[in-house]
Structure 1
């Protein structure tokens, strides 16, 4: 019987030196192409960020220069002053909104510089407002037939220089041991003030443009979505549940903040404050969140920027509220 012819040997492509070399060359080309794409992507993103920052600075400077021009207008006519102040105030609010809407990509130093500029503009506006009041007072003295009535003393607020309080805005002031409830419907473009409250519970349902908080002690404050900024100054042993594009907290002690915020919360001169995610519920809040462009949870509630702590390690002035110590979902009834 004839022996069967042996099958021809088949070379293993992995072991074939020629194919192995071609295979490696192909992998090298693909790797180089992928790396080039990554580098181009990073360069594009970096360029886009720089262009966005440049565009912001240009817009911010244009608005600031316009406000500066109005603030330096020389006039002693009370009517003109009143008109001037009425024009400047919304311009400063627009500047605040511009920072809030763009702060998520801006460098930290740019945000700080912008906020400092806005603070200075507000102080200059306050000085101009004082000038207006002085002019009215003089006019009242010389023309007794048309006196100017001052605001009731119950609305007057004793406050330090650079205070964030707006005495002419809607709000709750000088209250103690009360439940304070307000439907913000119709205040979408208005500010709301909470000032000099002790042992109160505040419920603000709906949306408004900004909220100013000053001198609160042992209070619980629940606030619906805010389209612009929330500014808090001098609070102690309070609980705040708030949603806003920008939140700045100054001089707070032993307080908890449940937040939803587009940009990083900013704190200054504070101690023993804790942060947790927003937990407010009421009928219609989803529509209000969408109206205020806050329907998305950014996670910034715990990305706190302490302006008085410049080291790379965690600031000792704030902490994340432990899960087992957080309040549950806060449900408010509408009215």
Structure 2
């Protein structure tokens, strides 16, 4: 009877542990309401800390409660997803150091989750194998000098981006109509694209862009934030509430944006007014709260240029060089997202 009693106690303990994780996750959403007068950065750090504890606790439960490991893994995955989304939504208002620290923490937790998942997978059963020939032992030479273990590569920015979108294409025309996609109104990612044309009709919640070269990108309204990193010789036409740009070079942005665009570590970037249309874009702009052109496309904040004079890192596209309105109504969907 004692083993049954012990297993009953263990199951009860596991249920209490999972209930605690659920409370921690709920506390994340409520923490910002506890400090209504806190600055946006302080409020984010408070919410981030609570969400990080929830994810770490779920990962710890995977090892301490093997019987409930699958449930704990699922809880941990959801907690890391929540943490990732929290960082993306706050990216516009975070100083560079806090943003990069938060992204690194999410990467570490994602890697820890993958490691925990691999550890709980059932091991292959051991089996004897007959050897037809005796193994020859090679003659022993002088011992080789010990080599330091190779450094593990750090998780890339791309590794923590949401999976739905276009990745790793060269010279392709990539089209997606979010009005008819199952993933409409969700997050979208463009990563590792070279010499591509991208047409995205419809609206999405958030947009992540990483490592594009010589691309032309036409995006429907984004009713959340756009985070752009490491782009060169590209043209972007988009509308969004918030746009933050890191490490852009020789790139033009045709924008409609509710708040002032932010650039960091950029050079040779130029800005112009929004120049995109397709059938139904007026409704999408209205639903996203972007029907009005605030003129903020020309009010750019350079976080790495603190002098009172104009930053040399950005300028306006001369009127004679600007794109005419681009109509993508007839562009047909040609590729699936991955």
TM-score, normalising length from structure 1?
0.69
Aligned mates of 1:312, 1:249 — CA distance in 2: 21
Shift of 1:58: 7.5
Is the Cα contact below 8 Å between 1:123 and 1:162 reproduced in 2? no
- Which residue number in structure 1 is paired with residue 123 of structure 2? 143
Aligned mates of 2:319, 2:36 — CA distance in 1: 37
> Quick one: structure 1 residues 314 and 71, their matched pair in 2 at CA, closer, same or farther if it must change by over 3 Å?
farther
SS in 1 for 2:104: helix
SS in 2 for 1:271: coil
- Which residue number in structure 2 is paired with residue 34 of structure 1? none
Aligned mates of 1:187, 1:259 — CA distance in 2: 24
SS in 2 for 1:130: helix
- Structure 1 stretch 294-303 or stretch 67-76: which is displaced more? 67-76
Shift of 1:54: 4.8
Alignment pair present for 1:126 and 2:122: no
Shift of 1:175: 1.1
Alignment pair present for 1:245 and 2:226: no
Instruction: Summarize deviations over 1:256-299 as a string: whole Å, max 9, x none.
Output: 00011111111111111100111110000111112211112111
Instruction: Summarize deviations over 1:200-223 as a string: whole Å, max 9, x none.
Output: 100000111111111111110000
Cα RMSD of the aligned pairs, angstroms, is: 2.8
Is the Cα contact below 8 Å between 1:165 and 1:214 reproduced in 2? no
- Which residue number in structure 2 is paired with residue 183 of structure 1? 177
> Quick one: structure 1 residues 231 and 292, their matched pair in 2 at CA, closer, same or farther if it must change by over 3 Å?
same
* Count, aligned residues: 260
1:1-335 equivalent positions in 2, closer than 5 A = 54=38, 60=44, 63-73=47-57, 75=60, 77=62, 79=70, 80-90=72-82, 92-94=84-86, 96-97=88-89, 111-113=93-95, 116-140=97-121, 142-144=122-124, 163=157, 166=160, 168-185=162-179, 186-334=182-330, 335=332
> Quick one: structure 1 residues 189 and 119, their matched pair in 2 at CA, closer, same or farther if it must change by over 3 Å?
farther
> Quick one: structure 1 residues 58 and 232, their matched pair in 2 at CA, closer, same or farther if it must change by over 3 Å?
closer
- Which residue number in structure 1 is paired with residue 134 of structure 2? none
- Structure 1 stretch 52-61 or stretch 160-169: which is displaced more? 52-61
Aligned mates of 1:325, 1:207 — CA distance in 2: 28
SS in 1 for 2:312: coil
SS in 2 for 1:283: coil
Structure 1 unaligned blocks of 5 or more: 1-50, 101-110, 146-158
TM-score, normalising length from structure 2?
0.68
- Structure 1 stretch 234-243 or stretch 63-72: which is displaced more? 63-72
Larger radius of gyration: 1
Instruction: Summarize deviations over 1:101-126 as a string: whole Å, max 9, x none.
Output: xxxxxxxxxx344x754543332122
Instruction: Summarize deviations over 1:68-115 as a string: whole Å, max 9, x none.
Output: 332442515153244223234235535654676xxxxxxxxxx344x7
Structure 2 unaligned blocks of 5 or more: 1-34, 63-68, 126-152, 333-338
Shift of 1:305: 1.1
Aligned mates of 1:188, 1:271 — CA distance in 2: 34
Aligned mates of 1:229, 1:92 — CA distance in 2: 13
- Which residue number in structure 1 is paired with residue 145 of structure 2? none
- Structure 1 stretch 284-293 or stretch 70-79: which is displaced more? 70-79
